[in-house]
Amino acid sequence: MVDIYIKEEFYAYDAFHIVKAFLPNEEIKQHINRERNEIISIDVDKQTIIKIDDVNKECTKKENKSEVNKKIYKQMERYTNKSIAWGILTGIRPTKILMKKLEDGKSEEDIKEWFQQQYLVSEKKATLGMEIAKREKSLLEQLDYENGYSLYIGIPFCPTTCSYCSFTSYPIQQWKERTDEYLEALCKEISFVGETSKEKKLNTIYMGGGTPTTLEAEQLDRLLTHVEKTFSLEELKEFTVEAGRPDSITEAKLEVLKRHHITRISINPQTMQQKTLDSIGRRHTVEDVIRIFRLARKLGFDNINMDLIAGLTGENVDDMRDTLEKIKELNPDNLTVHSLAIKRASKLNQTETKKELMNQSETLSEMIELAAKYAGEMELFPYYLYRQKNIAGNFENVGYAKVDKAGIYNILIMEEKQSIVAVGAGASTKIVLPKGKEIRDRKSGDLKNIVRIENVKDVDAYIMRIDEMIERKGEWLWR
């Protein structure tokens, strides 16, 4: 049991996450009390292991927080005798920090050195972060992203619900009779976005969810036809559709996607181990993945992504190697390697397995390195990176791609360079305000240049309240 006693709430979030990274299985309680003398003291099983009495009055609050975080990290490192690859970096977008420094014209060496000192990040992760930030920067330089926007279309249905899932996803069988109603509401929202965004250039479209290919071929055709009629696609660089689960894909559906010029699809096995597919609630086989992948290639898809998850229950490094061997044989154009994240909304969170998973950081580290090695052998280069809360071993997710096959949408959403207008149940729009136009966050009081507009997650509510969803967007598009 860990008790963190804190004088000011300002230090609480980071302190919690740094301690959690070192002691993932401990229950952590925070006690905030303005009357305390020390800034922070941390007890493990009632024994005080860290005490920070004071901060430098000459420094800003932000500088002091950084110093407090470093002190907590170093003492936790001594106490547990282990290091955390991403140091005190609790945010999810390390490359955003690096990219900003590159844009400011700083040299690569200086940035790397600063990054390691400032956040206590390992040399390996700093090198990975720099490599990705540079690649992202050069890809974005080819795009007039400031005058454009991207569109996300959410289809919240899947064949079954995977145990680790925290997305907005409902089993298609339960909704089969009402998908047309959903599409009607969705098309209404799409029409509104198209009408309001006439002056803007649409750069990328991403259709995700859920699994869009749970829709029937005719429904996909109707939806894509509506998109084509609504938007000018002249400036469109990429149109991705998550074909996700092989048990949702048919030749007829792939043909519809091809006819509508979808440039990139995802076929996501997560693992090529049958025992794991069975245990995570997938109702398809490894052979299904291979068959569908080959079919997509035969139909002419030349940019296919595959998602893998490192750290799924019961898997060891040999399983990961076997999965990567099978993926290598297929030779995808993109590979996205996730570290398992235990989200509050997932079924996994409710099980005892959570503890076991959060504890296997060495195995995970090996799996992630193995994936990076295989990606190299497949001539796939890391091009985007993000982290999640409650990620096993405190690692990262990395997208790899062949030259010229990187998913631009992924970079745009991670680096928050461009507004992403999102339609559908559970979809979250992110408006990036023009330079110099910031608003104050109601909760933290900080100035920010991003406005989020969330659609309701529940499909029924989305259908019923579609006009309200549209109205909410209307308040911000494009003011």
Measured CA to CA, the distance from residue 58 to residue 91 in angstroms comes to 26
Check binding of 85 to ligand SF4 (CB under 6 A): no
Q: Which of 73, 86, 149, 167 binds ligand SF4 (CB under 6 A)?
A: 167
Check binding of 140 to ligand SF4 (CB under 6 A): no
Beta carbon nearer to ligand SF4, 167 or 386: 167
Q: Which residues contact 105 (CB under 8 A, 6 or more apart)?
A: none
| Residue 211: CB minimum distance to ligand SF4, A | 5
Query: What is Dmax (Cα atoms) for the chain?
Result: 69
Check binding of 211 to ligand SF4 (CB under 6 A): yes
Burial class (CB in 10 A: 0-12, 13-18, 19+), 185: buried
Check binding of 161 to ligand SF4 (CB under 6 A): yes
Beta carbon nearer to ligand SF4, 115 or 164: 164
Check binding of 349 to ligand SF4 (CB under 6 A): no
- Please say whether the dihedral angle defined by the alpha carbons of residues 310, 312, 315 and 321, taken in this order, is positive or negative: negative
Beta carbon nearer to ligand SF4, 94 or 212: 212
Beta carbon nearer to ligand SF4, 148 or 159: 159
Check binding of 284 to ligand SF4 (CB under 6 A): no
CA atoms within 13 A on the CB side of 89: 29
Measured CA to CA, the distance from residue 356 to residue 378 in angstroms comes to 32
Beta carbon nearer to ligand SF4, 210 or 393: 210
Length reported for the chain: 479
* Amino acid at position 32, single letter: I
Beta carbon nearer to ligand SF4, 162 or 223: 162
Check binding of 165 to ligand SF4 (CB under 6 A): yes
Tell me how crowded residue 186 is: count the other CB atoms within 10 A of its CB: 23
| Residue 462: CB minimum distance to ligand SF4, A | 16
| Residue 474: CB minimum distance to ligand SF4, A | 28
Tell me how crowded residue 269 is: count the other CB atoms within 10 A of its CB: 27
227 to 256: interface string for ligand SF4, x by CB under 6 A: -----------------xx-----------
Q: Which residues of 16-35 are buried (b: 16+ CB within 10 A; e: fewer)?
A: bbbbbbbbbeeebebeeeee
The interface region with ligand SF4, picked from 62-70, 159-167, 419-427, 433-441 by CB under 6 A, is: 159-167
Beta carbon nearer to ligand SF4, 130 or 306: 306
Check binding of 169 to ligand SF4 (CB under 6 A): yes
Please name which of 21, 1, 24, 23 lies closest in space to residue 358, comparing C-alpha atoms.
24
Check binding of 346 to ligand SF4 (CB under 6 A): no
Measured CA to CA, the distance from residue 58 to residue 309 in angstroms comes to 46
Check binding of 87 to ligand SF4 (CB under 6 A): no
| Residue 209: CB minimum distance to ligand SF4, A | 6
Beta carbon nearer to ligand SF4, 69 or 336: 336
Check binding of 306 to ligand SF4 (CB under 6 A): no
Looking at residue 75, what DSSP letter applies?
H
| Residue 215: CB minimum distance to ligand SF4, A | 13
Tokens encoding 467: 């006009």
The interface region with ligand SF4, picked from 101-109, 111-119, 158-166, 249-257 by CB under 6 A, is: 158-166
The interface region with ligand SF4, picked from 21-29, 135-143, 209-217, 406-414 by CB under 6 A, is: 209-217
Contact criterion met (CB below 8 Å) for 390 and 367: no
What is the full DSSP assignment across 313-354?
Answer: TT--HHHHHHHHHHHHHH--SEEEEEEPB--TTSGGGGSTHH
- The distance of Cα 229 from the centroid of its chain, to the nearest Å, equals 30
Check binding of 154 to ligand SF4 (CB under 6 A): no
Q: Which of 210, 332, 393, 424 binds ligand SF4 (CB under 6 A)?
A: 210
Beta carbon nearer to ligand SF4, 194 or 244: 244
Q: How many amino acids of this chain bind ligand SF4 (CB under 6 A)?
A: 11
Burial class (CB in 10 A: 0-12, 13-18, 19+), 324: buried
Residue 155, CA distances (Å) to 138, 158, 236 in order: 32, 9, 21
Interface contacts to ligand SF4, rule CB under 6 A? 158, 161-162, 165, 167, 169, 209-211, 244-245
